[in-house]
Amino acid sequence: MVCLDRTGYPPPLMTSTPGSFAEKTIRERKPQIIAEVAQAYPYPPEILSELKAFAREIASEPIRPLHEDAPDVDLWQEAWSEHEGHSWFDVPWYFAETYFYRRLMEVVRYYQPGPWFDVDPFAPQKAAALEGALPAFAQCLDQPHSDAYTAFVLLLHETLWGNRADLSNRTIAAMAEGTGTDPSADRLLIDDTARIWQHLNAHPGARVDIVADNSGLELLLDIRLAEFLVAHDLAEVRFHLKRMPFFVSDAMIRDFWHTLACLETFEPIGKRMVRRMRETIDKGTVSLRDDPFWSTCLSYHQIPDRIDDDLSASHLVLFKGDVNYRRVLDDRQWPHTARLSDIAGHLPAPFGVLRTLKGELIVGLAPGQAEELQAQDPRWMINGERGVIQFVHTGRGGIGLQESSLAESTSSRGGLSRDLSLRPRDSSTPGQKASPTLGMTGPAIGEGRDG
């Protein structure tokens, strides 16, 4: 595993910070998610009882370890051991959030043989969000574009702002209104769209890796962007999706196929788009992967060798959404003027981050910019009203080009550590659904409870 020496790094965002967004997500949103899961299916009394106990634990008890038998337990137990005896309000925020979802999967028997094996507890919420997003998305499919660059700008900005539709934060999801870019130019704090376009044009037939975030509207827009890149011979596209239900709305491979199936009902435009996408998947110019690393407590400063080796062959990696942004930054309290290339220059390929702000961290700003934004809007870092498109033209050992900022440099690198025990899986065939454990196949989409 490529694992950076964190000596000299700023402290992580902590759930123990009074009044912080991190504290609020654990105190308010996580119990709400548990209550919603309890209503998602006719769970038996023992699962409902454990859900209530889990909520009590979060409120006032030490964080408990996993007790089930599953392939990923060793990884999570090692991470938990670093915080043994601590409460949910005295740990790094990213660990608390990710461990919450892993513990929730244990409670609902997601990994255990039986009637609830492989049942996504968030599937009903995802389906409702997709149903609500489809009509507006279908209407925008026939938008005319004067040239390829104009179309690319629109599509990239749409897939950025589509990230507002995040079910793990309802206050932000309520702000999402259709598609399209924000009419106010100052909402996009950093915009490296032109640099990303130039980079793609300098590498015809490039490989683009999209590390996806949410299902629903955002995934629809990601699919549309991928279709554009392939249709204009700009790139082949690999989607990296989640293996485990994660952060409520995060997209899994099954969500990708379900999205296409629903979009296909919008004739004729939606049906044509789905046909083209299925053809590109059959040809291999678009592929779907769900390595278990993407749904763990590890940041992108702890990348397994297999991921590092795979991404080193990419010409551009697009990290989508707030959680991926946090993982790129190791979820730490970097100065707002720090350079992204200095913090994440170890990544093995040029990369971009597309993120609407939903967490109290950001880098790449000019001196004084954060203070000005704070004076204008005290909630600017968490309300999803602003976004960034940042690009770093660097690979490990390469030269990082300065981002759109006047920031100063702070960085530290080196070291090796453990690897994940789980293996990757490539799943580009809609007729088979791999299990969340050892890659065994299950029923096709539409045959199980998660629809």
State residue 139's pLDDT score.
75
The per-residue pLDDT for range 206-260, each reduced to its tens digit, is 999 999 999 999 999 999 999 999 999 999 999 999 999 999 999 999 999 999 9
CB 98 within 8 A of CB 41: no
Query: Which residues is 433 bridged to in the sheet?
Result: 442
pLDDT, block means (10 residues), the chain with 451 residues: 77 97 97 98 98 98 98 97 98 98 98 98 96 86 82 93 61 39 67 97 95 96 96 96 97 98 90 96 98 98 96 97 97 97 95 96 97 96 94 62 37 31 44 33 28 32
State residue 417's pLDDT score.
32
Q: Write down the H helix ranges in 30-110.
A: 30-38, 45-60, 73-81, 93-107
- Determine how β-strand 316-320 pairs with β-strand 206-211: parallel
Question: What is the Cα–Cα distance from 305 to 418, expressed in whole angstroms?
Answer: 10
Give φ, ψ of 67 to 5 degrees.
-120, -10
In the chain, the domains with their CATH numbers are 16-107 (1.20.930.60), 123-392 (3.40.50.10880)
Question: What is the Cα–Cα distance from 22 to 12, expressed in whole angstroms?
Answer: 11
Question: What is the Cα–Cα distance from 253 to 240, expressed in whole angstroms?
Answer: 9
DSSP single-letter state for residue 146: S
The per-residue pLDDT for range 143-170, each reduced to its tens digit, is 777 799 999 999 999 999 987 754 444 4
State residue 403's pLDDT score.
45
The per-residue pLDDT for range 34-66, each reduced to its tens digit, is 999 999 999 999 999 999 999 999 999 999 999
42-45, Cβ contacts within 8 angstroms, sequence gap of 24 or more? 43/108, 43/116
Q: Can you say whether residue 212 is alpha, beta or left, with left for phi > 0 and alpha for psi between -120 and 50 degrees?
A: beta
